[in-house]
Amino acid sequence: MSLGRAPGRLLQTPAARGAPPGRRELNFGGILPAAVTPIDEEERFQSAAFEALLERLYEGGADGIYVSGNTGEGLAQPLEDREKLIEAAVRSSPPGKIVIAHVGAWRTADAIRLARHASRLGVAAVSSLPPVGEYGFREVKQYYSDLAAAATAPVFVYYYPAFSQAISSLNALEELLEIPNIAGIKFTGFDLYTLSLVKQTGAVVFNGHDEVLVAGLLMGADGGIGSFYNLVPELFVELYEKAAGGDWPAARAVQARINELIHLTLEFPMLPAIKKMLGWSGIDCGPCFRPRRQLSREEEQRLAAALAASSFAGASFARPG
C-alpha cells in the first residue's frame, strides 16, 4: 500500500458560487496540525505568536493547518477573534498549503457567518463539530445541510463521538456525506473499521487521534489532524512518509516515539501542558481559555522532569526557560 506524498481526493470546489480563484482543485491529505490558539491573560488573540507557530509547523513539513477547532479552543473564542485567526492562518500559509477552518459554534447563524468569512478568504475547506447540545440526528443533519449550503468552500464533518453522540453509526456518516458540498470527515474515533468503511465511500478522511495515526493510515485515512503535531510536526511527517512508502515497521517505530510524548503529557491536563511546552520552546501561547486551568508550579516541575527522562530531553520544548 502506498499513500503518496499528496494523497486524497481531488475536489472541485464550487467556484461558480464565488470561491476565490486558485482554490478550485485541491488534493486533501497529509499532515495538518490542529493549531493551538495563542492568547494573552485577557484572552485576546495574539497574532504574532500564532504566525510564529505556523512558521515552525511549516518548517517541520506540515502540509497545512487546521485552526479554531477543539485544540484551538474555537468554541470559547469571540467570533471576531476567530475571524482574525482564520485571516492570520490564510495570510501565513505558503501557496499550496491546506488551510481548514473549524467554524462550529453554539448557534447555526454564527457557524454560517464564520463559514462565509472563511470561504471569502480562500480557505481550502471549513469543518465543524456537531452543534453543542442535546440534539437528535435529524437536527444535526439540518445543521450540516445549512452550513454546506452557505459555504463556498468544501465542508468536513468533525466526527468525535466523545463530544457528541448525535452521529453514532456508519449509516449516519454516510447520510451526511450525501449532502452536497460535504467533502469528507475528520474522524476522531478509535473505531478504525468504521473509518475504513467511510473511506470506501470515496470521501476524504483525516485520522483524528494522534496515538493511532499509523493505524488510521493503514486503514485508509488520507492524512491526519492532531494536537501533538504542534510539538513534533516533523515526527508526524516522518510517520506519514514512511507509511506512504509502505515501510510500516518504520512507521510503527515513529508512532511509538510519538506515543512516548503523548503518554507522559497525558499525566497532566493536555492543552495547558502543550501550551506550556510551546512556551518553553520560545513561542508564548499564553494560558487556555477559562475555566480551563493552567498547570501548577509543581506540575510544571514534574512535566519538565518527565521530559528530561525521556527521549525528548534535548528538544527545545523540554527545556524550561
Ramachandran class of 23: left when φ > 0, alpha when ψ lies in -120 to 50, beta otherwise: alpha
Query: What is residue 44's predicted lDDT score, i.e. its pLDDT?
Result: 96
- Separation between Cα atoms, residue 27 and residue 197, nearest integer Å: 20
Query: What is residue 17's predicted lDDT score, i.e. its pLDDT?
Result: 34
Domain architecture of the chain: domains with CATH: 10-245 (3.20.20.70)
The set of catalytic residues is 158, 186
Burial class of residue 129 (count of CB atoms within 10 Å of its CB; 0-12, 13-18, 19+) = buried
Query: What is residue 3's predicted lDDT score, i.e. its pLDDT?
Result: 55
pLDDT, one tens digit per residue, over 26-37 is: 589 999 999 999
Residue 28: CA count within 13 A, CB half-sphere: 31
Query: What is residue 9's predicted lDDT score, i.e. its pLDDT?
Result: 36
Reading the chain (321 residues) residue by residue, the pLDDT tens digits are 445 444 443 333 333 333 333 333 458 999 999 999 999 999 999 999 999 999 999 999 999 999 999 999 999 999 999 999 999 999 999 999 999 999 999 999 999 999 999 999 999 999 999 998 889 999 999 999 999 999 999 999 999 999 888 898 999 999 999 999 999 999 999 999 999 999 999 999 999 999 999 999 999 999 999 999 999 999 999 999 999 999 999 999 999 999 999 999 999 999 999 999 999 999 999 999 999 999 999 999 999 999 999 999 999 999 897
CB 159 within 8 A of CB 186: yes
- Separation between Cα atoms, residue 128 and residue 77, nearest integer Å: 15
Query: What is residue 194's predicted lDDT score, i.e. its pLDDT?
Result: 97
